[in-house]
């Protein structure tokens, strides 16, 4: 048997850098959980922005089938899958939508399938790993532009547009570790000027932003200018899976050519049914969205982290930049000792020297929970900035 000592050495190096991670069993109980040390902690680390994963009414008439039994193209696509896809297309105001086993599969597969040799992808430097992997898997040239720098994008295309068959501008909508938002209006202007297509990952905007909750594109008024929108069912929707919404010809092409869709087992019918009811709740209970936006604005105000962008201030991701990895780990442990879970995020998830606590808010958090957390942050001497 070959030796794997080299892996042990690498893990030891990660430990010395305060960057080694491990799986920790946590028993969820609503907006709280009990950790492996039997501590009951209020969870400020999840992506359950609307409380639909942990605090929704019971779902009636769930399908009895626990699995879809096959990939979507073989026999795993049921009437429920079609109903969910149609619901998403209507929600996103697009011709069509198609489901994926995860948001990661949707992002990586879509970019890798649509961008081809002879094309160029312009990708934000802080894009999610799934988009980065999609760029790497494609045969297109990839130009990584400085975070949010739409002028850089325009300058590249002014100089080089003639070199490429197609241009793809790929970006997160809401950036998951920073809580800031992409300049989609400016990127759409550039796309129209240079005959490019914009692909936006709405993972952290879906359900939270916009008049109806369909995401950042709606909030910024560019839904009709961003043809391809990727989303997830695992965050505000409170379930699991991903989707792509856009022109029917695009989703049809993905069904025929996207490997992460074609060669994956379709979502379980129980998950699909739960997602359908979640979209119904988005429409019938807008107060969930209003609640989490209000909490986000309040927390930013109290921590002096508000920006000049009103939309950004309503994003329920509040990064508390600490700096050094060890200090971030100390800060998260201090808060756990006070009864709160706010996870430390370290490289390579974020750039070196920017380790942080990622504070995530949920409509299920009470005012008392939030005020207690803010007091604990001050009491623990956690300086952010």
pLDDT (tens digit per residue) in 264-290: 999 999 999 999 999 999 999 999 999
Model confidence at 385, pLDDT cuts 50, 70, 90, reads low
Q: Give the domain CATH number at 299.
A: 3.90.1150.10
Model confidence at 66, pLDDT cuts 50, 70, 90, reads confident
Domain with 293 in it:
15-54+286-380
Residue 9 lies in a domain: no
Highest mean pLDDT among 33-37, 62-66, 77-81: 77-81
Q: Within this chain, do residues 275 and 296 fall inside the same structural domain, yes or no?
A: no
Q: What phi, psi does 282 have (nearest 5°)?
A: -55, -40
Q: Mean pLDDT over all residues of the chain?
A: 96
Q: Within this chain, do residues 32 and 121 fall inside the same structural domain, yes or no?
A: no
Within a 13 Å sphere around the CA of 328, how many CA atoms are in the beta-carbon half?
A: 26
User: 279: which residues sit within 8 A by CB, 6+ positions away?
Assistant: 84, 87, 88, 91, 237
User: With 70 as the cut, is the pLDDT of residue 81 above it?
Assistant: yes
Average pLDDT over residues 249-268: 98
Peptide bond into 154 cis (omega under 30): no
Residue 333 lies in a domain: yes
Inter-residue contact 378 to 65 (CB < 8 Å) = no
Q: Within this chain, do residues 269 and 291 fall inside the same structural domain, yes or no?
A: no
Q: Within this chain, do residues 191 and 84 fall inside the same structural domain, yes or no?
A: yes
Q: Within this chain, do residues 45 and 84 fall inside the same structural domain, yes or no?
A: no
Q: Within this chain, do residues 184 and 324 fall inside the same structural domain, yes or no?
A: no
Residue 307 lies in a domain: yes
* pTM of the entire predicted model: 0.95
In angstroms, the Cα distances linking 89 to 10, 19, 101, 219, 223 are 45, 41, 17, 17, 12
In angstroms, the Cα distances linking 230 to 139, 187, 297, 354 are 20, 16, 26, 27
Q: Within this chain, do residues 32 and 90 fall inside the same structural domain, yes or no?
A: no
Residue 70 lies in a domain: no
Active site residues: 176, 204, 235
Tell me how many domains the chain contains: 2
In angstroms, the Cα distances linking 343 to 37, 233, 356 are 16, 22, 8
Rounded Cα gap, residues 163 and 167, in angstroms: 10
Q: Within this chain, do residues 328 and 348 fall inside the same structural domain, yes or no?
A: yes
Residue 72 lies in a domain: no
Average pLDDT over residues 11-16: 95
pLDDT (tens digit per residue) in 108-121: 999 999 999 999 99
Q: Within this chain, do residues 260 and 302 fall inside the same structural domain, yes or no?
A: no
Residue 149 lies in a domain: yes
Q: Give the domain CATH number at 165.
A: 3.40.640.10
Note the pLDDT of residue 168.
99
User: With 70 as the cut, is the pLDDT of residue 252 above it?
Assistant: yes
Single residue among 265, 280, 295 that ends a domain in this structure: 280
Residue 6 lies in a domain: no
Q: Within this chain, do residues 267 and 314 fall inside the same structural domain, yes or no?
A: no
Q: Within this chain, do residues 195 and 317 fall inside the same structural domain, yes or no?
A: no
Note the pLDDT of residue 65.
84
pLDDT (tens digit per residue) in 170-219: 999 999 999 999 999 999 999 999 999 999 999 999 999 999 999 999 99
User: With 70 as the cut, is the pLDDT of residue 292 above it?
Assistant: yes
Q: Which of 315, 303, 306, 298 is nearest to 382 (CA)?
A: 303
Single residue among 280, 311, 344 that ends a domain in this structure: 280
Q: For residue 49, give the 3-state DSSP assignment.
A: coil
Q: For residue 160, give the 3-state DSSP assignment.
A: helix
Single residue among 280, 301, 322 that ends a domain in this structure: 280
Q: Within this chain, do residues 183 and 323 fall inside the same structural domain, yes or no?
A: no
**Which uninterrupted H or E stretch holds 271?**
helix 269-284
Residue 71 lies in a domain: no
Note the pLDDT of residue 172.
99
Model confidence at 2, pLDDT cuts 50, 70, 90, reads confident
Token code pair at residue 278:
């979640």
């Amino acid at each position: 048997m070959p030796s794997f000592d080299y892996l042990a050495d690498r893990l030891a190096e990660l430990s010395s850098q305060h960057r080694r991670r491990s799986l920790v069993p946590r028993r969820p109980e609503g907006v709280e959980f009990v950790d492996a040390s039997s501590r009951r902690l209020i969870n400020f680390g999840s992506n359950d922005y609307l409380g639909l994963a942990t605090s929704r009414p019971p779902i009636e008439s769930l399908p009895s089938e626990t699995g879809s039994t096959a990939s979507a193209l073989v026999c795993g696509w049921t009437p429920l899958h079609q109903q969910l896809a149609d619901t998403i297309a209507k929600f996103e105001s697009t011709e069509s939508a198609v489901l994926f086993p995860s948001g990661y599969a949707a992002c990586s597969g879509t970019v890798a399938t649509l961008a081809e040799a002879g094309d160029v992808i312009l990708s934000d430097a802080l894009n999610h790993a799934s988009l980065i992997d999609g760029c790497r898997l494609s045969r297109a040239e990839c130009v990584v532009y400085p975070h949010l720098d739409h002028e850089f994008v325009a300058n590249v295309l002014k100089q080089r547009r003639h070199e490429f068959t197609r241009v793809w501008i790929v970006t997160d909508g809401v950036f998951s570790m920073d809580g800031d938002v992409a300049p989609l209006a400016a990127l759409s202007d550039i796309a129209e000027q240079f005959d490019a297509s914009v692909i936006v990952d709405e993972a952290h905007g879906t359900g939270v932003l916009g008049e109806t909750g369909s995401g950042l594109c709606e909030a910024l008024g560019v839904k009709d200018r961003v043809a391809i929108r990727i989303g997830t069912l695992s965050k505000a929707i409170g379930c699991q899976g991903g989707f792509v919404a856009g022109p029917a010809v695009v989703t049809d092409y993905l069904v025929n050519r996207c490997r992460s869709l074609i060669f994956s087992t379709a979502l379980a019918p129980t998950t699909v049914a739960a997602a359908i009811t979640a979209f119904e709740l988005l429409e019938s209970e807008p107060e969930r969205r209003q609640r989490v936006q209000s909490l986000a604005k309040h927390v930013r105000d109290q921590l002096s982290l508000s920006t000049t962008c009103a939309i950004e201030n309503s994003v329920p991701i509040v990064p508390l930049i600490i700096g050094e990895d060890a200090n971030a780990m100390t800060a998260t442990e201090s808060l756990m000792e006070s009864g709160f879970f706010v996870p430390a995020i370290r490289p390579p998830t974020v750039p070196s020297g920017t380790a942080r606590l990622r504070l995530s808010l949920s409509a299920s958090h009470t005012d008392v929970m939030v005020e207690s957390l803010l007091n604990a942050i001050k009491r623990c001497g956690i300086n952010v900035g």
